[in-house]
Amino acid sequence: MTKQEKVNFVIDTLNKLYPKVPIPLDHKDPYTLLIAVLLSAQSTDVRVNQITPLLFEIADNPYDMVKLTVEEIREIIKPVGLSPMKSKGIHGLSKMLIEKYNGKVPADYEALESFPAVGHKTASVVMSQAFNIPAFPVDTHIHRLMYRWGFTNGKNVVQTEADAKRLFPKDLWNRLHLQIIWYGRQYSPARGWDLDKDIITKTIGRKTVINDYLKKSR
């Protein structure tokens, strides 16, 4: 297969598997999505979705959030991990939203990345899922699969994002990044990987990745 044929195969396969793509993190608006994505760092979406209802019942907007102390936020979000950093980030960004943006989450990369505890990936998810602005957030699943499929050298997420944006049509980015995340979880995980179930990697995958898998499975 040519590189373009491989890209087309990925798009077609993912569209068949995931004609409708749910957003993994529960939220109701850009603010609650921003908080949920921030909380998801080095945690699982399942865990975050268990904790955010408890937090949002008390404060689902920046005005109510700043009424809480950092310690009060930390006590609620402890189960998701990294609570000292995340609680400071949530309180700090909520204060900034009120002071600079009238409590509204801005649809702007530079503004989003200026908030405490908000990096490029978090900003990209918000731009994509809250504002429908083309973005290709790269999480561990996308980074892993782009390497397994031979679409990137896998050196870092910055390069992986650049390669994904170069290979896939811009109008598909928002949909594709979610489809790849779901595919990675269901068919191509880091642990317990079964190549026979992973039709995309089995069909177009990097030869070294497939050979390493076969050696370990013998």
pLDDT in tens, 143-181: 999 999 999 997 899 999 999 999 999 999 999 999 999
Amino acid in position 13: T
Residue 79 has pLDDT above 90, yes or no: yes
Out of 6, 60, 86, 121, pick the active-site residue. 121
Please check whether residue 9 is in contact with residue 203, taking contact to mean a CB–CB distance below 8 angstroms: yes
Q: Which is nearest to 74 in space by CA: 91, 59, 62?
A: 91
Out of 139, 155, 163, 197, pick the active-site residue. 139
217: confidence class by pLDDT, cuts 50, 70, 90? confident
Q: What is the pTM of this model?
A: 0.91
Average pLDDT over residues 89-96: 98
pLDDT number for residue 216 = 86
Average pLDDT over residues 52-77: 98
Look at the block and give the residue holding tokens 């997420």: 157
Active-site residue 45, yes or no? Answer: no
| Structural domains present in the chain | 3-20+137-217 (1.10.1670.10), 30-129 (1.10.340.30)
Active-site residue 121, yes or no? Answer: yes
